[in-house]
Amino acid sequence: MPRLNILTKSDSERLALAELRDDYMRIRSVYAAGIREVDTRLQNLDNEYSFQNRHNPIHHIESRVKTLPSIIKKLQSMNIPVSITNAKKSLHDIAGVRVVCRYVDDIVQIADLLLSQPDISLILKKDYINNPKPNGYRSLHIVVDVPVYMIEGCVYVPVEIQIRTVAMDFWATLEHGIRYKAQEEVPQSIVDELRRCADVITDTDYKMQDIFHALQKVNDKDTEVEVTEDE
């Protein structure tokens, strides 16, 4: 009599998880390649902009591919069956890049320059700078399709790009840490104080930008004087 191959629930769960891990590892390299593509283009734009305008708009760039536990958690929060296929269909932030700029104007400049490239397609845009979240969060989020050349040919990979200033990034990082470490719901008094801090930081952001532009005008005038004297 042939033996029956009976899997217990725990066995089937372990098998399903192993298959999920295998599927994740297969797509991870593709999303990582998408991040490298975006990073290279941003670095090139920053270098060229610096050459033409004597100013580097990008302070630094961070990136990450969403981990499998994070993907599972997000799909579950959206009440979507957990699978890599569903993750690719429903999640735009598996590949994520954070661009930290020096000034608010730089955010728009970098986004416009990147989106002007003919093989970059805009999928989604959320402007939390002009329309901040209720907690005070400010940033520009765009999701773009970027071409990645793999062994099997060219594939387009969605990459979420968050673009914010140094000041915005400072606030967002600390605010996230405070909420993440809180054992219970954050009291409304602290929520209000965090919002006030975000407003103060935003006001400072624009003041620093005004100072920068004022200094640029002074430097431009000095350059004109030097050129005239040389002539």
Mean pLDDT of all residues in 27-41 = 97
Which residue is it, tokens 């930081």? 201
Q: What is the pLDDT of residue 134?
A: 93
Distance CA 133, CA 198 (A): 11
Cβ burial of 89 (10 Å; 0-12, 13-18, 19+) is exposed
Segment 195-220, tens digit of pLDDT? 999 999 999 999 999 999 999 888 77
The answer to whether 66 touches 88, Cβ cutoff 8 Å, is no
Would you place residue 1 in the very low, low, confident or very high pLDDT band (cuts 50, 70, 90)? Answer: very low
Q: What is the pLDDT of residue 97?
A: 98
Would you place residue 192 in the very low, low, confident or very high pLDDT band (cuts 50, 70, 90)? Answer: very high
Q: What is the pLDDT of residue 227?
A: 44
Mean pLDDT of all residues in 52-64 = 95
Q: What is the pLDDT of residue 9?
A: 56
Cα 129–Cα 94–Cα 178 angle in degrees, nearest 5:
55
Q: What is the pLDDT of residue 146?
A: 97
Strand-pair partners of 124: 143
Lowest-confidence range among 81-85, 169-173, 225-229? 225-229
Cα 139–Cα 143–Cα 129 angle in degrees, nearest 5:
15
Lowest-confidence range among 23-27, 109-113, 157-161, 222-226? 222-226
Torsions phi, psi for 129 (to 5 deg): -90, -55
The answer to whether 58 touches 42, Cβ cutoff 8 Å, is yes
Q: Is the pLDDT of residue 81 over 50?
A: yes
